[in-house]
Amino acid sequence: MNQPRLRFGVIGCAEIAERRTIPGLLAHPEIDLVAVASRQADKAGRFAQRFGCAAVQGYDHLLEDADISAVYIPLPAMLHAEWVERALLAGKHVLVEKPLGSSHFQAVELTELARGKGLVLLENMMFLRHSRHRRVAELLADGAIGALRGLTSTFTIPPKPPDDIRYQPTGGGALLDIGCYPARAAMYFLGPDLTVDGSVLRYDRSREVVLSGAVLLTNSAGVIAHLDFGLEHSYRSDYELSGSTGRLTVERAFTPPPTFSPTVRIHRQSGTEEIVLPPEDQFLGMLDFFVDAVRGAADPSPSVDETVGLARLLDTIALRAHTVYTRHGPYSDPGFA
């Protein structure tokens, strides 16, 4: 028997919602986009006209709509916890952009609230839904590079305009917005129990926002991970796994477009092997998982536990960080120090 389509509302008219998420919701065969909410009526109207749904002024008004059973929340990072809680209390399933909250404490509270109400709450760490990372894990398990010795991962993006939300305290800064990706990759390949051996966070002195950072981690087996991230660099999105007999590299690891054909490269003494995989839309993969979880066809508990573990890791990175300050933000002259 066919089940009814999942009826979605979107809380906030963020760039990622316009560029990736709402087109993904519209493309999914088991989802109906009902409404988009904004605090500004004209912004909600523009989105609604473009995407063929209702416009709602005010996030609370969207949550009052009994016709909506699930919401997607792409608000600035520091607003996630408030609106995830409100959505859960309104009886809605929730897909929220990373991070789920601004702290481990918030992540625990929200996931316990969702479990208590029998609702699905998932953080949109969508790169994990791309099958190439499972393929990499299989190669490691098969001994493609021998015994695993280390991981390095980098996610950096060029400076945005000065008024970009990432440079505001409500945006969460580089650690929560960008650093979560390589940190989550380290958990994926090295396991959830990671020790923070050192971290450096570079702040914009004028705004008290993290612009970039570096982290050193180890797991219980002594495998080392080195992570770099930031909002003030040329674009990089990759990871490399080093082993006793070779190394494995993955480029455009975290935000590939749906048309991108990923290549996994295995470098050995004898040469380089390339494994080219078909294009894949990782956001549609995330939506598939969310829909299955709502319908009881998939268990979201492991993903929820990993989200809480990531929040704990990010808290520890911030707590143990050595802090350095810039004199100017990344939007000033290229020679800033």
- Residues belonging to the active site: 98
Nearest to 300 by CA among 286, 283, 311: 286
Cα–Cα distance measured from residue 209 to residue 204, given in angstroms and rounded to the nearest whole number: 5
List the strands of the sheet with 70-73, edge to edge.
54-57, 31-38, 6-11, 70-73, 93-96, 121-123
Burial of 279 (0-12, 13-18, 19+ CB in 10 A): exposed
DSSP letters spanning 139-204: HHHTTTTSSEEEEEEEEE-----TT-GGGSGGG-HHIIIIIHHHHHHHHHHH-S--EEEEEEEEEE
Q: Is the peptide bond before 161 cis (omega within 30 degrees of 0)?
A: no
What's the Cα-to-Cα distance from 161 to each of 15, 144, 164, 166, 229, rounded to whole Å?
14, 43, 5, 10, 18
DSSP state of 2: P
Q: Which residues contact 25 (CB under 8 A, 6 or more apart)?
A: 8, 10, 31, 33, 72, 287
Residue 208 one-letter amino acid: E
